[in-house]
């Protein structure tokens, strides 16, 4: 009889061992996938410059906000975010250091990167920011009357954007594609700073006749960014329709952009927290993020 029971006991032990193995070995089909490896690049519109508090661990020189669109997207979708956006960045800072101790932004990219977002191009050659400052100064001198900025500068700003800025953004996007070959790359246009006409002098100190002039310049800038995206296979995120009626001349709670005078941000003429959230929604809708 003993020689009959031993095989049965061995069979029970084997079954128990198999059951234990089933409990301890994870099922590959049900394993949780790793979070999306998400990198945010770009300038002050990416960084959310002017919004407090600053992002934890970010370089204060970059004025990167905890409530910028990248942090919003990462939090809402559970992404693993590396945010190297920095206020004042130009396309050249994708491959060169902007400040001592601040690595080139493209260094954050790798073959493991799944998603890249950015706004970039507005600071290149200081064209766009120079136009805003020049038109603001001219508007103050004429007390908001006429079109002094257009009279002085003509199409020089737009021409610089069409040629130099466009080429620079193409180069920057090619760098991103090379460093992160497996990633979806999305570049945003800039939300409207001003309404189509009229303006709101002196809160935005642009002469009435120069408001359409600056709107046309911003249209040219966004067109250059969109064409650069098409040329490199990146996704263009259009902010124009969504931000219409949310410019710096609108009341608090409606505007996405803070005005030059009376700004609640410490960096005026930039998106506030509502604007960054609005931009995040456009990224999510365009990229069909769930």
Residue 208 contacts residue 144 (beta carbons within 8 Å): yes
Are 192 and 132 spatial neighbours (Cβ–Cβ below 8 Å)?
no
Entry field: residues in the chain? 290
User: Tokens 């089909």, residue?
Assistant: 29
Residue 110 contacts residue 67 (beta carbons within 8 Å): no
Question: Do residues 140 and 223 lie in contact, with contact meaning Cβ atoms separated by under 8 Å?
Answer: no
Residues 6+ apart with CB under 8 A from 114: 36, 37, 38, 182, 183, 184
Residues noted as catalytic = 44, 270
Distance, CA of 243 to CA of 194 (rounded, Å) = 10
Containing 116, the helix (H) or strand (E) segment is strand 115-118
3-state class (DSSP) for residue 33: coil
């Amino acid at each position: 009889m003993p020689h009959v029971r031993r095989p049965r006991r061995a069979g029970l032990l084997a079954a128990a061992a198999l059951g234990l193995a089933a409990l301890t070995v994870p099922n590959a089909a049900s394993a949780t996938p790793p979070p999306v490896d998400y990198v945010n690049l770009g300038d002050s519109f990416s960084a959310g410059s002017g919004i407090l508090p600053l992002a934890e661990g970010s370089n204060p020189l970059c004025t990167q906000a905890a409530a910028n669109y990248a942090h919003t997207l990462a939090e809402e979708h559970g992404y693993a975010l590396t945010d190297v956006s920095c206020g004042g960045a130009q396309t050249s800072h994708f491959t060169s250091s902007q400040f001592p101790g601040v690595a080139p932004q493209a260094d954050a990219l790798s073959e493991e990167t799944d998603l890249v977002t950015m706004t970039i191009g507005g600071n290149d050659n200081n064209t766009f920011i120079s136009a805003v400052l020049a038109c603001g100064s001219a508007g103050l001198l004429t007390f908001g009357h006429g079109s002094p900025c257009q009279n002085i500068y003509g199409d020089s700003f737009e021409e610089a954007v069409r040629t130099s800025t466009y080429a620079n953004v193409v180069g920057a996007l090619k760098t991103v594609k090379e460093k992160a070959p497996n990633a979806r790359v999305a570049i945003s246009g800039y939300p409207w700073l001003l309404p189509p006409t009229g303006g709101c002098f002196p809160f935005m100190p642009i002469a009435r006749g120069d408001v359409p002039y600056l709107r046309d310049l911003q249209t040219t800038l966004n067109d250059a960014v969109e064409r650069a995206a098409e040329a490199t296979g990146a996704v263009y995120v259009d902010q124009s329709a969504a931000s219409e009626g949310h410019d710096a001349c609108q009341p608090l709670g409606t505007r996405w952009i803070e005005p030059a005078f009376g700004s609640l941000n410490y960096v005026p003429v930039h998106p506030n927290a509502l604007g960054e959230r609005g931009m995040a929604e456009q990224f999510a809708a365009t990229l069909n993020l769930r």
